[in-house]
Amino acid sequence: MEKIYIYIENGTFLEANSFGASGTNVGEIVFNTSLTGYQEITTDPSYAGQFITFTMPEIGNVGVNSDDNESETIYSKGIFVRAYNDEYSNFRGEKTLATLLKEQGVLGICDIDTRYLTKMIRNEGAMMMIASTEISSKDELKEILEKSPRIEDINYIEQVSTKEAYIHKYGAWDHNKLAYNKAVMSDKKIVVVDFGVKRNILNELVQSGLEVEVIPSNFKASDLIARFEKGEIGGVFLSNGPGDPLTLTAEKEQVQELIKTDIPIFAICLGHQMLSIAHGYDTYKMPFGQHGGNHPVQNETSVVEITAQNHNYNVPDSIEAIAKITHKNLFDNTIEGVKYNKGNIFSVQHHPEASPGPHESKYIFDEFAKVVK
């Protein structure tokens, strides 16, 4: 392993070992408390522009495989792990995590105190940082970081969204066949606006009985409205994605046109935030966000669901003036789901597709399928 040097904007300067790609990357450091799923987390497009600190100390022990990627491209800048395991034990494993990171040009940082990093982020909030295998000078790293754009200044949606429309044809993972279920053609078709959609979200939409067409983020609401009026589509899904939703002014204008109609709309994460902004209720940035697979969320029937989370921004409490709060996070009482008073529009902040167990939220995909026309 070669040495890697880290400088964080609060002045912290650290040295560690590198097991991923060589190079220099700038991004925002956050932490994730999930015990499993490091491959799915690393390949989640919502982490574009970020360094992920895993609180789980042992990473790499099951390798990686092509089926479990949430995206073909890794958009995160790098990952921090306490102890990296290059020798993996998993009958589905195809290669090491280090190999995947090197193929994608993503930094892998190990032999570092991730508990220290996590406590620092918890106390001081998510911060910008730089990591390099090429530059060891603290002053030089600091200078580069200070001249680099901040994550909120970059529109990562343009990078992660599909460039061409396509039909997604697979459903959820079949543990008996060890493969993804093939889609059964449905008379209910929806359009997914891709702000950085995870593959498992598309799988669950198909699994709920929907035909799924994915389109780029630079969509025109007028086109979707016309297709809905002709009966070509029965609903719209707004996906998860990276970055600050308040920077997406063009996308906000299109969502504002959609919510004026009676098109059924369902949204997750960034899409959930975009609906709030489109209704006139701006989001706010949380101190260090919520990233993990163990967040208890209470739904409107008082049932507690265990959810997966990945967001730095949240909708304001004042949204209760125009929407019913359907889900609340029991860690900090923040809003996790709403159903708007006007139209057939609802959304959640957490990720019901992520299967954190034991009491999950996948039912919400079936609820959407029921209202699709």
Last residue in a domain, options 151, 186, 216: 151
Based on the domain organization, do 169 and 287 belong to the same domain? Answer: yes
**DSSP-derived 3-state class of residue 5:** strand
Based on the domain organization, do 234 and 331 belong to the same domain? Answer: yes
What phi and psi values does residue 310 have, to the nearest 5 degrees?
Answer: -160, 85
Question: For the domain that residue 273 is a member of, what is the CATH number?
Answer: 3.40.50.880
| Structural domain of 146 | 2-151
Based on the domain organization, do 286 and 179 belong to the same domain? Answer: yes
Mean local confidence (pLDDT), 319-332: 97
CA distance linking residue 134 with residue 223, whole number of Å: 48
Cβ atoms of 192 and 233 closer than 8 Å: no
Mean local confidence (pLDDT), 204-212: 96
Q: Side by side, which strands form the sheet with 335-340?
A: 166-168, 211-215, 189-193, 235-238, 265-268, 345-348, 335-340, 323-329, 284-299, 304-314
Cβ atoms of 365 and 200 closer than 8 Å: no
Average pLDDT, the chain: 96
Based on the domain organization, do 200 and 137 belong to the same domain? Answer: no
Based on the domain organization, do 109 and 69 belong to the same domain? Answer: yes
Q: Give tens-digit pLDDT for 72-88.
A: 999 999 999 999 999 99
Mean local confidence (pLDDT), 163-181: 91
Give the pLDDT confidence score for residue 21 in this predicted structure. 98
Last residue in a domain, options 114, 130, 151: 151
The region of weakest confidence among 40-54, 197-211, 277-291, 345-359 is: 345-359
Which positions ≥6 away from 247 have C-beta within 8 Å?
Answer: 152, 153, 155
Question: Is the pTM value of this prediction over 0.85?
Answer: yes
A 10 A CB-CB count for 184 gives 11
Based on the domain organization, do 209 and 138 belong to the same domain? Answer: no
Q: Which residues are catalytic?
A: 269, 351, 353
Based on the domain organization, do 224 and 334 belong to the same domain? Answer: yes
Question: For the domain that residue 100 is a member of, what is the CATH number?
Answer: 3.50.30.20
Last residue in a domain, options 118, 135, 151: 151
Give the pLDDT confidence score for residue 44 in this predicted structure. 98
By CB neighbour count within 10 A (0-12 exposed, 13-18 middle, 19+ buried), where does 318 fall?
exposed
Based on the domain organization, do 250 and 234 belong to the same domain? Answer: yes
Number of domains in the chain: 2
